[in-house]
Amino acid sequence: MTIETTQADPYYENGVVDREFNCVTQNTYECPNIIENRLPNVGLNAYVSVDLINKKTGNRFNDDWLDVRLYTQSREEHPYNRMWVKAKDFFYVGIHARNTRRLPFDVACVIGLEYAPYESIQDKRFIMRR
């Protein structure tokens, strides 16, 4: 399955799902969940939630050196760890280290926990600006 091409960003490459691949969980990497169910029809103004979770490593010194942020498709910083994105839009996740040495990190990005029309989004400040 190939996802539609976008011309908005020349550095963006489409994802390809290989359903024959046997994924093995290693270290902290978890295999992706591919859900075959279709989304409900909520109209053309549908939004998908994106939640960025910095689980941290438990070492406060290492955790102080690392910042994790969501960025809009125009590469502007989104001020919150939750963002609503239109169904066909894209976003960036920035992992920024304030030190030149290698740092351990534990970050999760949950896409699609909620799927809703614009009208039902309670807090509009979480919607990605264009």
Half-sphere exposure of residue 24, counting CA atoms within 13 Å on the CB side? 1
> pLDDT digit of tens for each residue in the chain (130 aa)?
444 555 566 666 666 777 777 777 777 777 776 666 666 777 788 999 999 998 888 888 777 888 889 999 999 999 999 999 998 889 999 988 887 777 788 888 999 889 999 999 999 999 998 7
Q: How far apart are the first and last CA of the chain?
A: 28
* Separation in Å, CA 126 to CA 47, 67, 76, 84, 106: 11, 19, 14, 6, 23
- As a whole number of Å, the CA-based R_g of the chain is 17
Domain boundaries along the sequence of the chain: 46-126
